[in-house]
């Protein structure tokens, strides 16, 4: 039943997007296998507009306080919402995401950890690196353009603007075996920074500024430890 409900909502979101927001999709995600999709987050429209741009059912990691109504919580979780407790690593939520990816499913994460208040990218959290290190899955960067213009934080009604979803090439990371805590942390940072930078490239926007954005000396060419999958 949940697959049928998800399919109906997919069709409705797609129809509304095309009719109201001149919705279009550029690129695609892999047709099979466990995949982690990482996207920018600036609007409540991001989940439905991202979801109807994929031809596979997806599960979504999101803040646990978004929907405080118990009955609604249960319905949304059955449809694919994975509530995440903020302020620390939620092992239960991330464990579910890891299990889904290992089972060949699609999981969506917003590396910024919450909606952007001004539409600009925020520094990423390390949680995405935890999932990658445990699964070795490819990460597909995605950029949602126009959702902030249509429904920014605090807006009551959507505006008539175009929405475009652009998917990039999958990125794979060579995690290897890590025994030192410092090396593990370094890998998490590598994953989060690489992904957020690729999201910025897709949107043709500046990468997020902040402490985590201090430049580091790197060789020319692909970032060490990561490669774009063909």
Q: Which residues pair with 226 in a beta bridge?
A: 173
- Tokens 């409540």 correspond to 44
d(CA 1, CA 57): 13
Identify whether the C-beta of residue 163 lies closer than 8 Å to the C-beta of residue 96. Answer: no
Return the pLDDT at 126: 87
Angle, helices 2-21/70-79, rounded to nearest 10 degrees? 90
Identify whether the C-beta of residue 49 lies closer than 8 Å to the C-beta of residue 147. Answer: yes
- Helix, strand, coil percent values for the chain (each to nearest 5): 40, 15, 45
Radius of gyration of the chain (CA): 17
User: Cβ-count burial of 48 within 10 angstroms (0-12 exposed, 13-18 middle, 19+ buried)?
Assistant: middle
Return the pLDDT at 153: 83
Which of 89, 125, 102 is closest to 36 using CA atoms?
102
Return the pLDDT at 65: 74
User: Going by C-beta distance under 8 Å and a sequence separation of 6 or more, which residues neighbour residue 202?
Assistant: 141, 142, 143, 166, 167, 168
- Tokens 């043709």 correspond to 204
Please tell me the CATH superfamily of domain 2-228, with its number: Glycerol-3-phosphate (1)-acyltransferase (3.40.1130.10)
Torsion (CA) 94, 99, 103, 105 in degrees, nearest 10: -20
The domain spans of the chain are 2-228
pLDDT in tens, the chain (230 residues): 788 999 999 999 999 999 999 999 999 999 999 999 999 999 999 999 999 999 999 999 988 777 667 777 788 888 889 988 877 778 899 999 999 999 999 999 999 988 999 999 999 998 899 999 999 999 999 999 999 999 988 888 899 999 999 999 999 997 554 445 556 888 999 999 999 999 999 999 999 986 543 333 222 233 334 445 44
d(CA 38, CA 139): 7
User: Going by C-beta distance under 8 Å and a sequence separation of 6 or more, which residues neighbour residue 176?
Assistant: none
Angle 65-67-70 (CA atoms, 0-180°, nearest 5)? Answer: 105
Return the pLDDT at 67: 67
């Amino acid at each position: 039943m949940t697959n049928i409900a998800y399919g109906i909502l997919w069709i409705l979101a797609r129809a509304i997007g095309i009719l109201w927001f001149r919705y279009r999709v550029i690129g695609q995600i892999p047709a099979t296998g466990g995949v982690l999709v990482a996207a920018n987050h600036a609007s409540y429209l991001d989940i439905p507009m991202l979801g109807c741009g994929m031809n596979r059912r997806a599960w979504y990691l999101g803040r646990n306080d978004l929907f405080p109504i118990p009955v609604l919580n249960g319905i949304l979780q059955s449809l694919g919402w994975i509530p995440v407790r903020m302020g620390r690593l939620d092992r239960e939520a991330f464990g579910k995401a890891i299990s889904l990816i290992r089972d060949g499913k699609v999981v969506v994460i917003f590396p910024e950890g919450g909606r952007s208040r001004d539409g600009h990218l925020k520094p990423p959290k390390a949680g995405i690196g935890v999932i990658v290190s445990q699964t070795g899955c490819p990460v597909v960067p995605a950029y949602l353009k126009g959702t902030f213009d249509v429904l920014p934080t605090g807006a009551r009604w959507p505006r008539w603007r175009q929405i475009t979803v652009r998917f990039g090439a999958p990125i794979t990371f060579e995690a290897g075996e890590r025994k030192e805590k410092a090396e593990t942390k370094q890998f998490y940072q590598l994953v989060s920074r690489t992904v957020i930078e690729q999201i910025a490239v897709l949107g043709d926007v500046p990468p997020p500024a902040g402490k985590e954005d201090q430049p580091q000396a790197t060789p020319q060419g692909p970032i060490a430890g990561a490669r774009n999958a063909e």
